[in-house]
Structure 1
Amino acid sequence: MIFKHSHVALAVSLALLSLSSQKAVAQTASPSDASVDNASSSAPINKNEAKKEATKLEQVIVTSSKRAQPAYKVPYNVSVLTEEALRENNITDIKKLIAESEAINAPANSARFADNTTVRGLNTGNANGNNIEQFVRSTLSYYLDDSPLPNIGYRIKDIARVETLIGPQGTLYGAGALGGTVRYITNQPKFGVLEGALNTSVYQTKNGGVSNDIDGVFNVPLAANLALRASLSRLDEKGFTDRVVSRPWQPTPKWVGTPNASQTLYEDDDWQRVDGARVALRWKLTKDLELGVSHTTQKQMAHGTTGTQILPLAQDPKATDAFMTSVVINDHTIISPNEEFANRTFVMNTLDLDWDLGFARLHSSTSKYQDQRQGQGDYTGAGQTFYGFWDPSLDINDPAFNGKPAWIAFDNNYEGLVHETRLSSTGNGPWSWVGGLYYTKTQRGLRFSEIVPGLDAAGITGKDAGRRTDEGYRENLSSDYTETAFFGEANYQLTNKWTLTAGARVFSYGDDGYSNIRDYTGPTSRESLATEKQNGKAYYKLNTSYQLNDDLLGYATYSQGYRRGGANGYRDYKTNVVHPEIRAYLPDSTNNTELGLKGYLMDRALYVQAAIYQIDWKNPQVGFTQTIDDFFPINGIANGPDARSRGLELAARYRLNENWQVTYNGATTSAEFTQSKKISLYANGASGDDIDLTAGTALWGAPKWKHNLGVRYSTVLGNGMALSASLRGRYVDKIQWSDNSNRLYPAYAVYNGNVGVSKDNWDLSLWANNLTDTRAVVSNNTGTGQRQELGARIVYVTPLTMGVNFSYFFK
């Protein structure tokens, strides 16, 4: 019953006051999170006024529009999590951040996986675990301060706030912002302040060991106009999933596991260790000019796979579906003869300049980064499919098997230089504007190998200068991409309440793609070089906003986003010629039309942010495979038919009085193809690989409904100690995880809570996630070969986890 449809009444989910996230939707969770505006910080006149002031919500300043302004004044959907809210909710990485978002979704896989991310229903990739990053497609872009990154494995440490911009952001944020953008804004050095902090968290997940997450930060004034800020962090997270080497139902032929040949059980194998550091120096050269330099680094070893192994269909006579068989051993054990891990190293150096020119503020940022990822995964099932028939010594079911199943290795590298210089206007006239220059040069290399122990000894493969021992297949995909862009937005205030905005981004790019495939047992070897260039491509934005009163804003916006294209490695086969339209895939783009309302009501006791939208997706990039000799696959991407996403988002926070707050965040979305299209592999004949995508077919990867609702209590005790407690949770509707409409993750709800106390320069909190120990399917890591030989790996929501956090601050 793993993928059985689950009906959960919407009314029930809305009634549960524990379904919440501590998300600061354009305001903070507590007064310490941000500066309070003049209205809410003025001295009360009498007791009644004091009570009113106590129920007002505070505002937070964001820079998502490339200028600093209150979030409730930004005329599109932007939400903010402040540093305090991030810590209170134990949000320390992108996976946890996405889990708390009502508009963004990704499968909840273990740390070593990169995930397909869905924003507002925009997705055509499977919502499951994937060992190969070539298959990962995201409609979300990631920024660390002003630098776009291909991945955001960087942990949320010494981060002032996280800004989430929902909807296409092509004019200000460029390629990749197809559905939205996530920005990590780091804390900057402070002049004239000696301060620091130490934070530690000790926690344990059911069936796992005791984990520790510790970080510290130190801010030092080196001179009146010079300051240094340094932060260090270390995560030692114990796993809770065991790994066994062999199949209990078929102990012979014996399999030899790795890394230790004599070991058959690896307990708590899905662990990770992460070390991070950031050093930033800020120099105020004059009262108008500041220079900053920073160095950021992180090393991560993400080990093992979270999941539960279930029996192959052939081993469970009562089952009729390979995803609904019985558990092999228990709910926290998988089968894998091979060690699985991802070893990642991230380094970024940044130079920033801020200059107040009087008529405008100039900001210039230059970053150079490198993100390296090496690792390996088990390939036993697929290895049997592609290599087992060649020789008895390679057949995992043959008595002559050599005992060493296949595995895969990957070596991925991303590096780039990114520069942006922008001017943002100052002054109080009817015109305001921001404009700038953007340049990037990035290199991407994705290497993937299939290693079949004993392949060379079987005498099947030939020799190659670059071939690894027992390597049966290798992909080397690289890209050298250069882009130059000019961007800008102009605002004109028609009246003191009505503002019009127009924006554009004009860019030129070149992409040299190289593909080198070596198949040592099959006919798919090929080498290709493709260049894609485009000059003067433009995307636009139009917006109108109306200030209904001082605290409430209504807006309508039209915005565009885009994602770069690339080249495929499909090859002509016999007399068939690959269709010209799929030798390369075009950039895809989105056109977003949105109406929204945001701001404060009820004398600032209630904050609301609501948006209704329609996104038209042009040339969506979909996975497409060529099969050679009816057996050997060549994977790539094609442009599918146009699609459309429609939805509604609502976020609200209500402060009942000075002690109680209620929060709600929710979204519903529906996405489908709006056209029909046949994607043909060959120009001169039909192929079994051709696919027909039909108008009305639903896209996959997102729930129809997602809700967060909850309650928070805070007070100051007689001894001056502050006390807070919250009960939160999340409801996620069923999710179709592939293009097969019958493959569904069922709906579920999880509940989290914490209790904290603080006084002077310390705070202490006790917390628990998944209070009811809900066991809900959220992902799977399963190919056809694995289902047949080992059984499917099913991923459930993380079991009950309990911990204690302690922080100490000093000045």
Structure 2
Amino acid sequence: MINPTYRFRRNALVLAICSAPLLAFAEGERALEEVVVTARKQSETLQDVPFSIAAMTEGKLQQSGATDLESMATNVAGISIQNLGPGQSQVSIRGISAGQIVRDQPGVKEQVGVYFDESVISMSLFTPDLDFYDINRIEVLRGPQGTLFGSGSLSGTVRYISQQPDFDGVSGSLQASGERIDEGGSGGSMKGHLNVPLSDKVALRLVRYYQEYGGFIDAHQPDGSVKSDVNDGVREGGRLAVLIQPNDRLSITPRVVFQKIDMDGFNREDDYNILGNPYTTSRTPLSLGDYEQFTQLEESFEDDFALADLTINYDLSDSVSMTSVTSYTDRDVLVLRDATALNASITGGSYGESEAIYTLDAPLYDRTSAEVVTQELRFSGLEGPLQWVAGLFYSEVERHYGQSLLVAGFEDSNPQHPDLAGPTAGQRASKDELFYSDIPYELEQYALFGEASYDLSEKTMIVVGARFFDYEETRVLTFDGLYNATTIDKPSKVSSDGVSPRVMLRHDLSDDVMVNAQISRGFRLGGINDPINVPLCSPEDAATFGGRDSFEDETLTNYEVGSKMTLMGGAATLNASLFYSDIKDLQATVTAGTCSSRVVYNVPEAHSTGMEVEFFVRPAAQFELGFSASYVKAEIDSDVTSTDTNNVTAVVGGIREGNDMPTAPGLEMAATAAWYFPLHDSWEGYANASYQYVGERYTQIADQENNARGSATLFANVGGPLTQSTYDYDRELDSYTQLNLRFGARNENWDAALYVRNATNEKADLSLDTERDGRARVGHHVSQPRTLGITARYTF
């Protein structure tokens, strides 16, 4: 197989990624490991890639205790993970985000592409947090990667690179862990892998894992009881890959990846709930504390993910190779939320119905199913000073989404308001189904891509690439129920085509210092908006948010300069980059006021500018230190306004020139330290610490309006008369720090450790979560409290 290392470092020692923890270093061995990555679909060392990239090897992941994307991000600058619970992570890179997606919106595509080896797995809100066990490395590619990775990689790409089957003999590992959350529940895991050569031409690799999450959120109930640790759950999954290598030129690797998540609740802390708060007089007052919420029914999240792919590599000649990647993904997600507070704000707050009606259980079911087929065929070659890759890509996405709000007993309770009285069944909605939607969705995409690197001299290289794409999206919209304007089987279609280019220049000032520059473009496909819930809208909001059937493609042009340095004879590396990203037609999700809907607007102009710095050093053989930081200023550069029925023009959803983009902080920093020391005979001890700082940020663009102070006018019809008429809250999320510690010992076969996550027990607000602009509920998704654990791993 053609697997060339980067040509500027022909004399460098290139080490394969470690598949085990860092080994003990002999006295005087201070050189940092050189990491081989495939960020440009060719093998090269991390220090040779001519743009900003971070890579966490399996040894580093195990050393830090990272098991999923969120825990990995604590050690990498420039990437932010919005944690809405396992399986519901939203990823942003370089501060480029238009706000948190709080419900599945099939038309909204991701801004960061996530790949498992060669197969794309990202899906807007539901990026699957696959377990890192037996992962070779995680690559974080900063900046647009549209040329090689397509639409979902507008601001960057995250890649899981798995361990492949090998012929070196039977090997494997087993790992067990247990942990306890401070004032919460218990969790633990069992994981293992097995590599077996079946012959000199066939080998297989099996990975299996099972993890129980302890809960830490307590849910107050209407009868005064409290359910403890309601957000516990289970994640289990595995992988099976078979390597078939008939000869030195051909390899065939079929694989299956699966994961199932079953959570009993969400990491949400309620600050105000219309059904459980201290301001009521006709209902029992309730003050909610840290890690507490008010619910009336049990919430849950279920996610079944399966990926089957086939990778074929064939050397056509000594200088040209072919790669074919075929993948099929099947995904089923069910989210059950307690919408009783939301429904109470409508039936009781807006319509004035009695307590017997507004306290009826109101479960909201969000169902998503998706089938994705992709095919990539590419060729790569190396001819003297020219190295190139070119290929074709095709994908077909069939996605089905629907919501159902079934309030059992509603019709028989005889509501009095004329908008609610009478039969509730509609053309598609059943009796007592107050909200119903059904949205089948298809997206077909074709692309032609290529990138070539050419050595202008022994020290200078230029890279030129482009991706030509064409897509068509079709949806059939059906909405029914009392809260909807009935829409039955309404077809919608959008299509687009374009080109995404990239030009990079690299120059070696010396063997150890490289500078680079690039201009690159990323894109995010447009889509179709859901209709707003007109019956719930005020006339002003209906005029403001209505009539927006679709939204355009989002494009980003990135200008970047950087430098990568190897210092102290290989004992240190210092990498830095400066970037400016110009964004056109930013897709901003806006909450449509009283309509209880979400609408995507295109913001004509926005930008993100900033820098990243990473420094790693081994000052002595037994010490290793790391520091990374990013500073980003990402802003809206255009006003988006609307004029209501009273001819009043106002800024929509906080989309005002000068406002910040949400979800990602301006400043992030991470520091790591590791100490290795001899124990007894063949045993080595180690102590690791990692520290993360995350700056202030917002969840949605609109949160920074009115000096970031939210003020909700409370409904006096629910629990009234009230002791106060408004509820004020801070919409800016405070900065926070996280400190993780790990102490252990290991030898050739065993590795045992004690660990502490969030050692200072800091409660971090990860995102703001409101319903009906805070009139139904105000809360935050919060981080896990201090967690103590023990883990042991046996490798053979």
Q: Identify the TM-score tier after normalising by the shorter chain.
A: 0.7 to 0.9
Aligned: 1:794 with 2:780: yes
Change (3 A) 1:675 1:642: same
| Structure showing greater relative contact order (alpha-carbon pairs closer than 8 Å, 6 or more residues apart) | 1
Deviations 1:278-321, CA, capped at 9 Å, x for gaps: 11111111111011101111111022122433356995579xxx
- Is the CA contact (8 Å cut-off) linking 2:348 and 2:358 kept in structure 1? no
Deviation for aligned residue 1:267: 1.7
The amino acid of 1:443's aligned partner reads E
Distance 1:241 1:673 in 2: 36
Given residue 269 of structure 1, which amino acid in structure 2 is its aligned partner? V
Q: CA deviation at 1:339?
A: 0.9
Out of 753, 778, 789, the residue aligned to residue 766 of structure 2 is 778
Contact 1:116 1:125 in 2 (8 A): no
Q: Name the CA shift for 1:691/1:709 in 2 (closer, same or farther; >3 Å).
A: closer
The amino acid that maps onto 1:374 is L
Deviation per CA, 1:169-201: give whole Å up to 9, x if none.
000000111111101111111124111111122
| 8 Å Cα contact 1:279-1:294 kept in structure 2 | yes
User: Residue 414 of structure 1 corresponds to which residue in structure 2?
Assistant: 370
Q: What pairs up with 1:490-505 in 2 under 5 angstroms? A: 490-505=452-467
1:704 counterpart residue number: 666
Q: Does 1:347 align with 2:306?
A: yes
Question: AA paired with 2:612?
Answer: E
Is the counterpart of residue 607 in structure 1 residue 577 in structure 2? no
Q: Structure 2: how far apart are the matches of 1:692 and 1:77?
A: 32
**Fraction of identical pairs, as percent:** 24
User: Is the 2:277–2:286 Cα contact (8 Å) retained in structure 1?
Assistant: no
* Deviation of 1:202 (Å): 1.0
Which residue, out of 121, 141, 146, partners 1:165? 141
| 1:444-463 alignment, distance < 5 Å | 444-457=399-412, 458=414, 460-463=422-425
Q: 1:373 to 1:540 in 2, by over 3 A?
A: same
Q: Which of 68, 83, 86 is the equivalent residue of 1:108? A: 83
Residue in 1 aligned with 2:482?
A: 520
- Aligned twin of 1:232: 208
Q: Which stretch of structure 1 is more off in the superposition, 170-179 or 308-317?
A: 308-317
Tell me whether 1:202 sits opposite 2:178 in the alignment. Answer: yes
Corresponding residue of 1:55 = 30
Q: 1:423 to 1:680 in 2, by over 3 A?
A: farther
- Tell me by how many angstroms 1:204 deviates: 1.1
Indicate the residue corresponding to 1:87 in structure 2: 62
Shift of 1:503: 0.3
From 24, 33, 47, give the equivalent of 1:72.
47
Residue 476 to residue 66, structure 1, CA distance change in 2 (3 Å): same
Maintained 8 Å contact 2:309/2:325? yes
Q: Match of 1:260?
A: none
Contact 1:702 1:735 in 2 (8 A): yes
Distance 1:462 1:210, change over 3 A: closer
The answer to whether the 8 A contact 2:50-2:516 is kept is yes
SS at match of 2:62: helix
Unaligned runs of 5+ in 2: 1-12, 415-420, 709-730
SS at match of 2:47: helix
Cα-to-partner distance string for 1:43-83 (whole Å, 9 max, x where unaligned): xxxxxxx865x111110111111011111111011111111
User: How far apart, in 2, do the equivalents of 1:67 and 1:673 lie?
Assistant: 36
Would the alpha carbon gap of residues 610 and 402 (structure 1) be closer, same or farther in structure 2, given more than 3 Å must change? closer
The CA RMSD over aligned residues, in Å, is: 3.2
Match of 1:19 in 2: none
Structure 1: any 5+ residue segments left out of the alignment?
A: 1-25, 42-49, 249-263, 319-325
Distance in 2 (alpha carbons) for counterparts of 1:444 and 1:224: 42
Q: Map of 1:205-284 to 2, 5 A cutoff?
A: 205-246=181-222, 264-284=225-245
Distance in 1, matches of 2:22 and 2:147, equals 29
Matched, 1:765 2:753: yes
The Cα offsets for residues 728-782 of structure 1, whole Å up to 9 and x where unpaired, read as 2111111123322212111222211111111121111111011111233222333
Relative to structure 1, the CA distance from residue 270 to residue 29 in structure 2 (aligned partners, 3 Å threshold; closer, same or farther) is: farther
Give the deviation of 1:647 after TM superposition: 0.4
- Contact 2:367 / 2:402 at 8 angstroms: preserved in 1? yes
Distance 2:644 2:402 in 1: 25
Counterpart Cα distance in 2 of 1:442 and 1:160: 29
Residue identity in the other structure for 1:63: T
Q: What's the CA shift for 1:552?
A: 2.5
Q: Is the 8 A contact 1:308 1:333 kept in 2?
A: yes
Provide the C-alpha distance between the structure 2 equivalents of 1:633 and 1:329, rounded to a whole number of angstroms: 25
Within 5 Å, which residues of 2 pair with 1:484-495? Answer: 484-495=446-457
What are the within-5 Å matches in structure 2 for residues 26-41 of structure 1? Answer: none
Alignment of 1:324-339 (within 5 A): 328-339=287-298
User: What is the TM-score when the length of structure 2 is the normalising length?
Assistant: 0.86
CA distance in 2, matches of 1:781, 1:206: 24
Counterparts in 2 of 1:375 and 1:577: CA distance versus 1, 3 Å: closer
Counterpart of 2:113 in structure 1 is: 141
Q: Residue 258 of structure 1 corresponds to which residue in structure 2?
A: none
Alignment length (residue pairs): 735
**Contact 1:132–1:448, Cα closer than 8 Å, also in 2:** no
3-state SS of paired residue (1:339) = coil
How big is the shift at 1:529? 1.5
The 3-state SS of whatever aligns with 1:223 is: coil
Distance in 1 separating the partners of 2:341 and 2:107:
19
Q: Match for 1:450: what amino acid?
A: L
2 CA distance for matches of 1:686 and 1:134? 32
Q: Distance in 2 between matches of 1:352 and 1:214?
A: 29
Equivalent residues in 2 for 1:558-597 (5 A)? Answer: 558-570=519-531, 582-597=548-563
Residue 417 of structure 2 is matched in structure 1 by none
Question: 1:524: Cα distance to partner?
Answer: 5.5
1:289 aligns with 2:233: no
Question: Mean Cα displacement is larger for which, 708-717 or 139-148?
Answer: 708-717
Answer yes or no: is the 8 Å Cα contact 1:443–1:480 preserved in 2: yes
Please state whether the residue corresponding to 1:793 is helix, strand or coil: strand
Question: Distance in 2 between the 1:452 and 1:92 partners?
Answer: 39
Pick closer, same or farther for the CA change 1:354–1:778 going to 2, 3 Å.
same
3-state secondary structure, aligned to 1:782: strand
- Counterparts of 1:210 and 1:424 in 2: how far apart (Å)? 50
In structure 1, give the amino acid aligned to 2:476: Y
TM-superposed CA distance for 1:504, in Å, is: 0.3
Residues 491-541 of structure 1, C-alpha deviation per residue, up to 9 Å, x if partnerless?
110111100010000111111122211132553546531222234x11100
Distance in 2, Cα, partners of 1:135 & 1:416 = 15
Letter in 2 for 1:155: D
**1:181–1:281 CA distance, 2 compared to 1 (3 A):** same
Report the counterpart of residue 129 of structure 2 in structure 1.
Answer: 153
The correspondence of residues 117-128 of structure 1 with structure 2, limited to 5 A, is 117-126=91-100
Equivalent runs, 1:331-730 vs 2, <5 Å: 331-357=290-316, 358-388=318-348, 395=354, 398=355, 400-401=356-357, 404-427=360-383, 429-457=384-412, 458=414, 460-464=422-426, 466-523=428-485, 525=487, 527-535=489-497, 537-570=498-531, 582-624=548-590, 631-678=594-641, 693-717=655-679, 719-730=681-692
Shift of 1:678: 2.9
Q: TM-score, normalised by structure 1?
A: 0.84
Letter in 2 for 1:562: F
Q: Distance in 1 between matches of 2:523 and 2:290?
A: 42
- CA 1:746–1:754 in structure 2 vs 1: closer, same or farther (change >3 Å)? same
The answer to whether the Cα contact below 8 Å between 2:273 and 2:341 also exists between their aligned partners in 1 is: no
| Residues 739, 757 of structure 2: 8 Å contact kept | yes
After superposition, the C-alpha distances for 1:115-141 in whole angstroms (9 at most, x for unaligned) are: 4433211112148xx354559764211
CA contact (8 A) 1:242 1:334 kept: yes
Q: Does 1:808 align with 2:794?
A: yes
Deviant stretches of 4+, over 6 Å: 26-32, 389-392, 571-581, 684-689
CA distance 1:693–1:30, change in 2 (3 Å) = closer
